[in-house]
Structures are given as C-alpha cells and as structure tokens.
Structure 1
Amino acid sequence: MKNIILTTLNSRYSHSSLGLRYLLANLKELKNEAEILEFVINSSVQTIAEQILSKKPKIIGIAVYIWNAFDIGELVRIIKKVSPQTIVVLGGPEVSYTPLRVNFDMADYIICGEGEVSFYNLCRELLDGNCTQARTIHSPKVDFEAIALPYDDYTDFDIKNRHIYVENARGCPFECEFCLSSIETKMRYLDINIFLDEIEKLWQRGARSFKFIDRTFNIKISYAKAILNYFLAKQEDYFLHFEVIPDNFPEELRDLIKQFKAGCLQLEVGIQTLNLDVAKEIRRNLKLDKIKDNLKFLSQETHAHMHIDLIIGLPSESIESFGRNLNQLYTLSTGEIQVGILKKLSGTTLDRHDKIYGMVYNDAPPYDILKNDLISFDLMQDMKRFARFWDIIYNSGNFQKTTALLFSDGKVYENFYDFSKWLYKRSESTYKISLDRIAQFLYEYLSNSYDKELIANAILQDVMSVEGRSFPAFLKKIIPETYDFAQKEVSKANKRQQLRKE
C-alpha cells in the first residue's frame, strides 16, 4: 500500500510521463511512500479508478493534459464518489491556466504551474494533518538546477518498452500566440555536463529511444552540438526525437546532422504557416529564405526524418493561403507534413482575435476551431477530414508512388482536397479503413484520369512495400500475380523517409 499515487493517462502505451517522474524524484523523505501508475486514454475509467484505489492511497496526484482532460474529469468524479476521503490533487498544463473548460470541481487541490516543489510541500502538510494550503496553488517557476532530476525513476520496464522523455531546457524565446510555451520566453538550461551524465546512465541501463521535449532544441548551438556529438560517438542503433526551429541550422550543426544514419534522427519542424502577414498576426517570426534553404538541406543532404507542422484556421489565413503553404512545402521537403487544426488553449492570447476574425472554438477538448470569418463550419469539417486522410494516406508512407500520380500537376492541396471529399462520400468514415480498401479507393478515383495499368502498378508497388502484405485481390484482374514488385528492404523505423527519397 502507498500513501501517494502519481498517475495520468498517456496518449499511447509507448509514451511515458516525465512530469510524474519529476514529482516522484522531488518527494524527498516521502518518496518511498509513493508510486507511479500510468494508463492509456480510451481505457475504462472505472477500471482505472479500481486499480488506483486498490493501493489504498491517501493522496492521488493526477497530471492533466489536453488529450486526457475529459477522462480525468470523469476519473476524479468516480474516485471521490467511491472514496471521498481520498485527496485528489490535479496538476499539468490543462489545469494551470484559466478558464478551466472541463469540470474539475470535485478535485481537492489544483496546482497551477511547475509542481516539483509545491506538490511535495502539499503532500507533507496533508500527511502531517496540518494543511493550510488554498485549494488552488499558484506554483512559481522552480530552480531548474536545484530540483532532483527524474531519470533514475524510469524503470527497467520503461526503458525496454517506452520512449524515454528528457529535457535540457525549459521555456521558449518566441511568442507564437497559439502555443503555451510562449508564456515563458526566458530560457532555463540544465548544465550540459550534468544532463549528459544522466543520459549516459540511461544509456548504460539500455535506453535507446529518447524524445527531447525542449521546444527549441537548436536555439543554443553549443548545447545542441554537445548532445549530437554524444550520440554520434555511440556505435549501437538508437532513436532521437527533437523539436527544432526551422531557421537555425549553421554549418557546424549541419555537419553533425549529416553524420546520423537513416532511422536515428527525427525532427519536429514547426512551420505552421508560410504567409508572412498571417505569421505577423500571431507574433510568429518567419525567415522564409532560411527556412527554405534548411528544409532543402535536411531533405537532400541528411537522413533525418521530418515532421513539418502546418495549421488550418489561423487568424486571417484563408483556405487558399493554407493550400499555397501545402503546395510549397511539398516541393521543399521529403518529410511528413502534419496538418493540424488550430486549438485555443487556456493561457494563450489567441482570444484577442476572436471578435476581429469571428473565431469560434469547441468548448470541449481539444478546443479545436469550428469556424471563422474566412472558413465556414462546413469547410472546416471538410478540412478536418482532409487532415485525417492526409495522415493515413500521405504521411503513412504507404502510398508514395500513388500520391505522386495524384500530385503530378503540382496541385497538391487542390487535388487532395477533391480526393478527400470524394473519399469521405465513398467510405462514409475517416477511421478503421484498411490498407486494401484505401488502395482500392485510390485505384477507383484515379482510374478516371490515368491508364488503369499504370495506376495498378503504382498501387501494387506501394502496397507490397509494406511487410507482410499479400497481393490485393482487386488487382489480380489487371496485373498478373507474377509481376515483379521487388522493393528495396527498408527498416521499419525509417520506411517513410526512405520511400520518399527513392
């Protein structure tokens, strides 16, 4: 039995919560009385409550994020009904800023801000029986170099089965209005030698998959170089994920990135828009020449796999402008282009645009935009389906030869928009569509514009590049099963990137 349970609902089983491990690491003399229990969204909330309460905790600390806020609200209600004497403490970005748009009224305490110190102080007072804390605790920024680091609290199970989340910095120097990171523009860094010592300990324990949560990994070049050099010296395979700004790749950094072999390096590249007027409206600094040059470099001279972010629904950006952004990015990069829908997070300053641009958002998580003065509700719904189909067809890497036919005239946005409209009408769904059904839909749609055997050959090569796939039945009448579709062997970790470079 444990007095303190730390828990959250991760978005995937392979994810792990760095925040919970920070809380555990900083519980001092209370640490032996605490345990982490992690779950996954879309699990039975009652079963989660049952497993937590089976530990007979006096305090439950729950990390709340945009993806789990609704489920956490329900979890809190069940826990307090079943075990009203158990104290529930909420923390995390989703409860750190007002307004709270999910009902957390039954929680006993809410910690707003960084909780490493505040959570310990609260637990100590509660367990001592003399708590004087207010229900809402506004926690100040912690001294990043004074708190205990969390990396020893990754278990051997975590290291074997999950991504290991790490951070060398907190804050972001930019002021993009849609992002919570823009609230703290002053950067705080952990001493690089201390940080690399922690990474080395994880490495010695077998960790090989590291996801850096630093918002701007390449803003401080000396630190970025030290981290890249550390991993380049390793002889074994590994996977690294960094969030990078697209306009800061000096030659010294380029020389290092070029040395990483395929499958090792994934870069999250925040673009959001290429429209300078829109960027200015949301206080996002764009250096287009540098962005274009760096995307070209990363695509043509490195093995780094890229996730390039674009947003639909930004204030003052029309669908036509978004379409031009997508068309241009398609020509600039071989990476995935992640099409996101604008969300209004509590704590950001996006609401200053609401009246000017008629911005209307969903009140429930994920607080996505419903319409604005340039994009109607119906069109926004079309674009949400566009984003979903784009992800499962283009970003999946499963149909690169086929989509090349779809985009052969350079009208990437226009052609995929027409296809996504047709596909939704044809499939009546955006989820649980099998690879073979997608292939058949692509064949059916493209048959009106291309030679059927040409389309069939492209689809066959795409489908058979996926390990374990069988010859699609609908193609057997068009192409003999003896067709030579031999493909290069591609490692699973880097299949998408390899296919785009062939």
Structure 2
Amino acid sequence: MKKVLFCALNARYNHTNLAVRSLCAYAATQLKEKKFENILDLRIKEWSINQNAEEIIRNIAEAFNGTEPDLVLFSVYIWNCSLIYKVSDTIKQIFPKMIICFGGPEVSYQSDEVFQKCYSPSFIIKGEGERPVSNILIKFAENKHKDTFITELLSVNGIFFRNGHFSGEFKPVQLDEIPFVYSNHSAFLEREDIKNCIVYYESSRGCPFNCAYCLSSIDKGVRTLSLERVLKEITFFMEQDFKLIKFVDRTFNIDSNRYLKIWQHIIENHNGKTAFHFEIEARNLCAESFEILSKAPTGAIQFEIGIQSTNPKTLKAVNRSTDIESIAKNIKQIPKNIHIHLDLIAGLPEENLISFGHSFDYVASLKPEKLQLGFLKVLSGAPISEKASEEGWQFMHTPPYEVLQTPVLPYRDVLILKDIETLTEIFYNANDFHYTIRFIEEISSLFGFFYLFAQYINKYKKGVPLLRKTIDWFAILAEFIPFYFSIPFQVPLLLQEFFQNTPNQCELQNNSLYAHEFLRFDYIRRAKTSNFSSWYQRYYDKNAHAESLHKYTTVKSTRLSYANSEYEEFAINPLETPIKKQKTKILFLYAEKEKHSTQNYTTKENTSFICL
C-alpha cells in the first residue's frame, strides 16, 4: 500500500487539529467510492510546536511501522510555519523521493514566497482542502510511476506548483459531505486523550462581515452544516464527556432560528462537564437568546466577542460597525452564568495610544471574565495589508506579522501596550487578583493604572517579565499600591484625561488601605498557603479559627479541616458594598482538589467565604 501521512503541529499539546481530520475523513470516503481504500494507507499524526524538530522528523520517518510515508501533507498556520519549513526540508533531505504538500491559511495566499523559503514542497493547496486533497489522493492511488505524479496533478484544481502555475479555482464541498471526524477511528489515532483536549468543531464556514484585517473577509457567503447533524454531534460530545468544544465558526450567531436551537439543545441535555465555546457578534443576539441563556448551567457556554476598538474612525477604517452602544447593551444583558471573553486589537488604523486606552477602559467596564488584548497581524491576502504598504506601516515580515508601528502609533507606544497586555493577563485574566483589580477599576482608569504600574516595574523591577511567580506579583503590587495612591497629583501629561477626578488626600489614604486589604483577601482566597510574604500582615486567631470551623462546618478530621480552611481578619468587609472601614473576620473554606477534578469548565471561585 502507498502510505499517506497528514501532519499537524499544534500551538499546545492539548490542542487538536480539525483540518487534518476533516481532510483525511473526506478523502477516505472519496477513495472508498472509487474502491481505492485498499491502495492507500491514510494516517494522522499530531505534535506541538514545543517539541523539537528532531523528534518530529523521526516520528515521520517511522510513522508506518518503522517506515516513512510516500506522501506527506502539512497543515500550515502562522504559529507553526517556521518549524514545518525546517522539518519538511530536513525530511526531504533524508528521503528525496518523498512527496511533500503544504496547505492552510499561512501558505494559501503567498505560495511564491513559500516556495522560495522552502525547497521541500512539490505543490501547495489553495483554500479549503477537502476537494483538492481527495482528488490528489485519487490521482496518487491511480499513479503507476511516481516520477510522473506531479505532472498528473495539473488537471486537479486548487494547486500551486513550483513553476508558478496555478491549476484553477474549484467549488468547495458542502459541509454535510464531510464525515463527523470525532466518531471516526482515525480521529483518535495517536490521541487517546482527545476527550481532555481542546476539540475544535465546525458548524459553518465563511463570514458575512468584511473586516479588513481578517482572511475570512475574502470568502463571501456562509455555508452551514445541517442543524440535525449539529445537534446529533453535540449530543455525542456530551455523552462521551468531552472537556471543551470550541466552535470555529467565524460568527456563530448569524441565524437566530439556528443558534437558539443549538443553545437550547445544550442546556436541555447538558452533562455538567462539557463546555462549549462560541465566537459571536453581540449585535445579533435577539431578545429570546437572553432568556434561553439564563437557564444554562454556569460555565457550560462561553462567548468570545470581538469589539477590537471603540474608536469610530478606527472601526470605519476596518469595515466594522461603529454602533458600540448597541453592542455594549447586548453584552450587559448576557446572563452572568455565561463566561465572556472580550477582544481588543492594538495597532488598528487611526488608533493611537490614548484612543486605545479609552477602548480598553470601555471594554473593561463591561466586566468580562477575560479581556484579551491582541496586536494587529498584517496578513498576506487580508485587505489591510494593502493599506499598511501604502501608508508605510512597519510590521514583522515573518510570523506572526505583528504591527511594529503605524502613522499614529509609534514603536515606543507599542512597547507600552505590550507591557499592558502582560499585566492584563496576569492581573485581570488569571483571577488571582480579582477583587483587588475590580476595586481599582471602580475608582480609577484601569488603563491608566496598568500604564503607571508598567512604568514602575520597568524603573524599579527590571522590566515586565512573564516568568515571575504569582507570589512575587502579589509582593510587587503590594509595593506599588501606596505609590499609586500618592501620585494623582503627579500624573504624566499624556495620561491626565484618564485621571480627571482627582480624589482628596483622605480619599487617597482610604483607597490605598482598601486596595491593600483587597490584595490580602485575594492572597488568601486563591489557595491555602503557609507562605506569607513580608508585605502581608497576618491577623490570625487559632481559637477563633477552631470555633468557626465547629460552628459552620462538620469537622470529621481536625487535620483536614485546618488544611482546607483559613481564618483572617480585615480592616474592611471585602464582600460588601459600599466599602467602609469595618473590622471583619472571615473563614475561608477551600474546595477539596478531588471535588474539582471532574470540573471541566472554569468557575470564578473554588473558595467559599463566611463572614463571622
């Protein structure tokens, strides 16, 4: 048999690749129709980009019971292309007669450049791969002489060749023609742990919008998988206790008749374990959706919503709606049991540092569980790439193609936003500092706070690295808090519009105290610890701890009760608003680890509190 290997290099070990599964499953059905299933042996292998090239090369060389494949197809993305180029060129050097093919968004719109960078691929597939790949494999099954195979592919549409020839456009397959890849044995090959991975699922392709920075804007129209099949496959995921299903639909909630039935089905049949992640357009949420979503188990449904900017000029420049108020109104109506991610993109047209700061504060005011700050990627083929070239933008010419500076955002400001991105991940998104950051957000500009915090760290702590331990970040923030609440009178001119309401000295002192107490509360809330840093002033009463345990819990084992609880006193009640000075004793009850081992979706708290 001829040996064909579909290769995927994922961003992380717990990610999966939908593309190779879809290509392999569809091709298998077409080969079976032609009665070629016994001529080709199709296999899938996955790695992560954190594995070294030598290991991947060896795995490919031994993929078929210790022998190499005859044909290798690589799924190429922005995050894995550099490693794939290295691996493919090396494997071609070892096995010169091996045929190598590339496909995927990273190579579909720049085939000439890819052929120049990488000598190993004989051809590159453009766009959706199911139809071209199946036709390629049929030709491969029919081929009698390997030396003539590439020439025989000239009749297969959708292929770029090394000589610059493109074989022509093709009609994509209908989604219902593609088998369900996760019930197919090939999907589980090499991934026995797939149920615990992030699994990507597709119920539609295409996007009705025309965002200038996105490759999805190139493909017009939306094609969908039949609703009956989507509901059936969602049921499979829940019956099999999959952990997290991420819908890759570019805009999931286009048709209310469709998306409401899908959400209703999840809610009515939920297993208490599987989480479903959707990328949605907030403006499209209908009134009925809020009522349906309110019945969902907490954490069962997650939304990712791209706001990108609140600057009307910026939104107009990238062909997005400028009706931010309607978007915000709908986001505020999403029930609290739905986990929300809101996205911003730095480096868009007409967006300078101050404008982005206002976008940041506005999105933070909507109180998402995660605020994801990304940087514009100037992708080949996306409409914005022409604007970037015409206006002299500077951006990386190798992956990830991130913007370096624009006419209104100099490189120094990009560096500031990079630091703010890091601090947002650590202090806003990680949940370790939830109460502290939410308090600061209520009384001041969160963007201004992170800007000044980054300046402080760069000046006194040798920069904003990612690799500090959480306990170290607590200490740095504890040190910065009194500094921050002493500086509103010395705010840099650049930031003055973010600090227009200057508190008096008494308010500053109170806010500093409150922030410090919230930080102490977060420190104990996050996990049981015996390691109290020098910044943390302890107010512990062992007798009060024991008394409260016996009063509010069932003590079966004194050792376990103490191990899963903590007692502390605070100068405020961190669970009460409005905030006021009030000595408060709190018993912290930590969830036992084994109770959360089957909790597959994120909840805000694994700790409960009892005010004594």
Of 82, 88, 95, which aligns to 2:94?
Answer: 82
Does residue 436 of the first structure (1) align with residue 477 of the second (2)? no
Q: Distance in 1 between matches of 2:9 and 2:309?
A: 31
Q: Sort the Cα spacing of 1:79 and 1:276 in 2 relative to 1 into closer, same or farther, 3 A.
A: same
Residue 234 of structure 2 contacts residue 266 of structure 2 at CA under 8 Å; is this kept in 1? no
Tell me the CA shift for residue 44 of structure 1.
0.2
The alpha carbon displacement at 1:469 in A equals: 4.4
Q: Which whole-Å CA distance do the structure 2 matches of 1:169 and 1:226 have between them?
A: 15
Matched with 2:75 is 63
Within the candidate set 274, 284, 297, 2:310 is matched to 274
Q: 2:128 aligns with which of 114, 118, 132?
A: 114
Q: What's the counterpart of residue 382 of structure 2?
A: 348
Alpha carbons 1:174, 1:182 under 8 Å: kept: yes
Larger Rg: 2
Query: Shift in Å at residue 295 of structure 1?
Result: 1.4
- Aligned twin of 1:381: 415
Distance 1:234 1:488, change over 3 A: farther
CA apart distance, 1:471: 3.9
Greater alpha carbon shift after TM alignment, 233-242 vs 452-461: 452-461
Report the Cα offset of residue 158 of structure 1.
4.5
Distance of 1:348 and 1:258 partners within structure 2: 38
Contact 1:158 1:164 in 2 (8 A): no
**Distance change (3 Å), C-alpha of 1:147 and 1:104:** same
Distance 1:197 1:431, change over 3 A: same
Paired AA for residue 337 in structure 1? L
Give the stretch that moved more between structures: 160-169 or 306-315.
160-169
**Among 343, 367, 377, the residue aligned to 1:333:** 367
**Quick one: which amino acid aligns to residue 114 of structure 1?**
E
Distance 1:278 1:149, change over 3 A: same
> 1:291 is matched with which residue: 297, 319, 327?
327
Write the mapping of 1:150-229 to structure 2, written as runs, cut at 5 A.
150-153=181-184, 154-155=187-188, 157-229=192-264
C-alpha distance in structure 2 between counterparts of 1:410 and 1:196, whole Å: 46
CA distance in 1, matches of 2:587, 2:286: 40
In structure 1, the partner of 2:16 is 16
Distance 1:332 1:100, change over 3 A: farther
- Shifted more, 328-337 versus 61-70: the winner is 328-337
The residue aligned with 1:47 is 55
Give the direction of change, closer, same or farther, for the CA distance of 1:436–1:5 in structure 2 (3 Å limit). Answer: same
1:302 equivalenced with 2:336 (yes/no) = yes
Structure 1 residue 178: deviation in Å? 0.6
Higher relative contact order (CA 8 A, sep 6+): 1
Is the CA contact 2:341–2:368 (under 8 Å) kept in the aligned structure 1?
Answer: no
1:97 paired to 2:109: yes
SS in 1 for 2:125: strand
| Matched positions, count | 497
SS in 1 for 2:283: coil
2:331 and 2:278 mapped to 1: Cα distance? 15
CA gap of 1:174–1:320, structure 2 versus 1, over 3 A, is: same
1:19/1:138 CA distance change after superposition, 3 Å? farther
Q: Cα deviations across residues 456-480 of structure 1 (Å, max 9, x unaligned)?
A: 432232133324544432234x223
The CA distance in 2 between the partners of 1:161 and 1:250, in whole Å, is 33
Give me the whole-angstrom Cα distance separating, in 2, the residues matched to 1:495 and 1:460. Answer: 21
Partner residue in 1 for 2:610 = none
Counterpart check, 1:256 vs 2:292: yes
Q: Per the alignment, do residues 78 and 497 of structure 1 end up closer, same or farther by CA in structure 2, a change over 3 Å counting?
A: farther
Whether the 8 Å CA contact 2:2–2:41 is kept in 1: the answer is: yes
In 2 relative to 1, CA 27–286 (structure 1 residues): closer, same or farther, beyond 3 Å?
same
State yes or no: 1:415 paired with 2:475.
no
Asked if 1:6 is matched to 2:65, the reply is: no
**Residues of 2 paired with 1:396 and 1:110: CA distance?**
40
User: 1:115-161: CA deviations, max 9, x gaps?
Assistant: 11211221232342352125616663223233334232332724432
Query: Is the 8 Å Cα contact of residues 305 and 497 (structure 1) preserved in structure 2?
Result: no
Do the aligned residues in 2 keep the contact of 1:281 with 1:315 (CA within 8 Å)? yes
1:447-499 residue CA offsets vs partner (Å, 9 max, x unmatched)? 222577644432232133324544432234x2235525544768773344899
TM-score, normalisation: structure 1: 0.92
Once residues 369 and 130 of structure 2 are traced to their aligned partners in structure 1, the CA distance between those partners, rounded to angstroms, is 37
Q: Report matched runs for 1:386-401 at 5 Å.
A: 386-401=420-435
Shift of 1:363: 0.7
Deviations 1:268-306 (A, max 9, x none): 0011011122111111123223211111112xx331111
What is the aligned counterpart of 1:146 among 165, 177, 187? Answer: 177
Give the 3-state SS of the residue equivalent to 2:153 in structure 1.
coil
1:463 aligns with 2:523: yes
SS of 1:201 mapped into structure 2: helix
Q: What is the alpha-carbon distance in structure 2 between the residues aligned to residue 256 and residue 222 of structure 1?
A: 13
Does residue 360 of structure 1 match 2:394? yes
Distance 1:385 1:312, change over 3 A: same
Instruction: Report the Cα offset of residue 433 of structure 1.
Output: 1.2
1:489–1:181 CA distance, 2 compared to 1 (3 A): farther
Alpha carbons of 1:387 and 1:218: their partners in 2 closer, same or farther (altered >3 Å)? same
CA distance in structure 2 between the aligned counterparts of 1:283 and 1:173, rounded to whole angstroms: 12
Task: Give 1:351's aligned amino acid.
Answer: S
| Contact 1:111–1:139 (8 Å) recurs in 2 | no
Report deviation, 1:247: 0.7
Q: 1:126 aligns with which of 125, 133, 140?
A: 140
Shift of 1:181: 1.1
CA contact (8 A) 1:386 1:417 kept: yes
- Structure 1 CA distance for aligned equivalents of residues 367 and 589 of structure 2: 22
1:354, 1:206 → 2: CA distance?
A: 46
Identify if the C-alpha distance between structure 1 residues 279 and 498 changes in structure 2 by more than 3 Å, giving closer, same or farther: farther
Q: How far, CA to CA, are the matches of 1:270 and 1:189 in structure 2? A: 21
Distance in 1, Cα, partners of 2:168 & 2:11: 27
2:196–2:242 contact (8 Å) kept in structure 1: no
Partner Cα separation in structure 1 for residue 527 and residue 85 of structure 2: 41
Aligned partner of 2:500 in structure 1 is none
Deviations 1:358-400 (A, max 9, x none): 3211011110000011111122122122212211221111112
Q: Which runs of 5+ in 1 are unaligned?
A: none
Alpha-carbon spacing, 1:293–1:470, altered in 2? closer, same or farther (3 Å): farther
**Cα deviation code 1:312-339 (max 9, x no counterpart):** 1101111111111111122223331111
SS at match of 2:192: helix
CA contact (8 A) 1:358 1:371 kept: no
Aligned partners of 2:527 and 2:590 also within 8 Å: no
CA deviations over 1:187-234 (Å, ceiling 9, x no partner): 111111122223333433333421111111111111111211111112
